[in-house]
Amino acid sequence: MMSAIQSASAIKLAIVGVGKIVHDQHLPAVAANADFQLVASASRNNTVEGLPGFRSIEEMLAAVPDIDAVSLCMPPQYRYAAAHAALSAGKHVFLEKPPGATLSEVADLEALAASRGLTLFTSWHSRYAPAVQPAKAYLAAHAPTSMHVVWKEDVRHWHPNQEWIWQAGGLGVFDPGINALSIVTEILPSLIFLNRATLEFPENRDAPIAAQLHFQDAAGMPVHAEFDWRQTGKQSWDIIVGTAAGELKLSDGGARLWIAGVEQPLGKEAEYPSLYRRFAELVRAGRPDVDVAPLRHVADAFMLGKRSVVDAFHD
Ligand code: NAP
């Protein structure tokens, strides 16, 4: 059994799968957090300046045995093998979202982490947006009567030439859409489930470019979500919730919050610094944080949704 890492010593962290999100978010967040010391990276083609870099996680774990924890930032189809290798070597694991390509592989990792006394963290960065906890508190006190989610963005701008995202397991438009679902499942006081869905697949791709999802809770409260990657011009990452006391609107992916038409003051901590603060707490306490609710809704959409074939998509 691993023991929790004492608060006096930094957690020796390695990053695996060095790409866009590592450069944009992980490296600055880790550099600003004294709980972590970044000691190595593993990536087939990329390195992090100033750090020992290895071509594979196996090579890295063999060469740097005192690594305490790893952040796995490669595409989801390749996360299970790396997570299994890390947990088997006794390392705590931070999984980028989505935590895997299937629900069952995440369940397997959860069991492995538990058997070794290690932290497995299914990170959902959008849940750490500043509007999310205030929205959750408001909806705990003012029951929602309806919810409308609009997540529409330009895939050419946000995911240029990302082949994995269009392949099976890459989730297509659910790659951003799962961020919306991570917020929905955090702020709603009741569980929801999918009734019907439509998924639009470009004729030359294995993952959808758009989806319409209709959920409800046990009391019949409707939740409608629209995901679309063909949006040009203004981008939308909005969640609008009806309540008897007025409308709650969370916009810009949770960066802003309006209640009954009045914009609310929010905390300033950004998503990834909050994620790493949480990961440090978990590692030091030797506890897991595994929640697959957003991934389960996506799996349900692939299981229940009607499929339509739409125009081919070319980057
Ligand atoms: P990315 O830049 O396309 O990929 C990250 C890195 O993974 C690549 O640079 C590549 O490094 C490695 N990789 C690619 N294919 C691989 C394979 N077949 N096997 C092993 N490693 C592979 O993607 P990203 O945008 O950083 O996204 C990575 C994850 O972060 C995704 O799950 C995504 O949902 C999540 N995320 C992304 C964003 C964003 O804004 N981009 C935001 C939040 C979360 P090497 O070629 O050097 O191995």
Q: Note the pLDDT of residue 4.
A: 59
Instruction: Label residue 261 left, alpha or beta by phi (over 0 means left) and psi (-120 to 50 means alpha).
Output: left
Residues 106 and 145 occupy one common structural domain? no
**Residue 96: which of 17, 186, 13 has the closest Cα?**
17
Query: 17 alpha carbon to ligand 1 midpoint, in Å?
Result: 6
Q: What is the mean pLDDT of residues 224-231?
A: 98
Residue 276 within a domain: no
Confidence band of 76 (pLDDT split at 50, 70, 90): very high
Residues 306 and 212 occupy one common structural domain? yes
Last residue of a domain, one of 122, 142, 162: 122
60-73 pLDDT, tens per residue?
Answer: 999 999 999 999 99
Residue that has been written with the tokens 């935590």 in this structure: 99
Q: CA-CA distance, 229 to 159, in Å (whole number)? A: 10
98-151 pLDDT, tens per residue?
Answer: 999 999 999 999 999 999 999 999 999 999 999 999 999 999 999 999 999 999
Selected catalytic residue, list 12, 20, 91, 97: 97
Q: CA-CA distance, 63 to 19, in Å (whole number)? A: 22
Q: What is the mean pLDDT of residues 259-283?
A: 97
Give me the amino acid identity at 85. Answer: A
Residue 69: give the domain boundaries. 11-122
Last residue of a domain, one of 105, 122, 139: 122
Residues 147 and 247 occupy one common structural domain? yes
Residue 140: C-alpha distances to residues 171, 183, 258 (Å):
31, 14, 16
- Global pTM? 0.97
Query: 261 alpha carbon to ligand 1 midpoint, in Å?
Result: 38
What is the DSSP track for 232-289? -SS-EEEEEEEETT--EEEEGGGTEEEETTEEPP-----HHHHHHHHHHHHHHHT--B
Give me the amino acid identity at 160. Answer: P
Q: How many folded domains does the chain comprise?
A: 2
Q: Note the pLDDT of residue 223.
A: 98
Size of the chain, expressed as the number of residues it contains: 315
Q: CA-CA distance, 168 to 163, in Å (whole number)? A: 10
Indicate if ligand 1 lies below 6 Å from the C-beta of 78: yes
Q: What is the mean pLDDT of residues 8-33?
A: 96
Q: Note the pLDDT of residue 168.
A: 97
Indicate if ligand 1 lies below 6 Å from the C-beta of 91: no
Indicate if ligand 1 lies below 6 Å from the C-beta of 45: yes
173-193 pLDDT, tens per residue?
Answer: 999 999 999 999 999 999 999
Q: What is the mean pLDDT of residues 90-95?
A: 98
User: What CATH number does residue 202 fall under?
Assistant: 3.30.360.10
Give me the amino acid identity at 114. Answer: A
Query: 242 alpha carbon to ligand 1 midpoint, in Å?
Result: 36
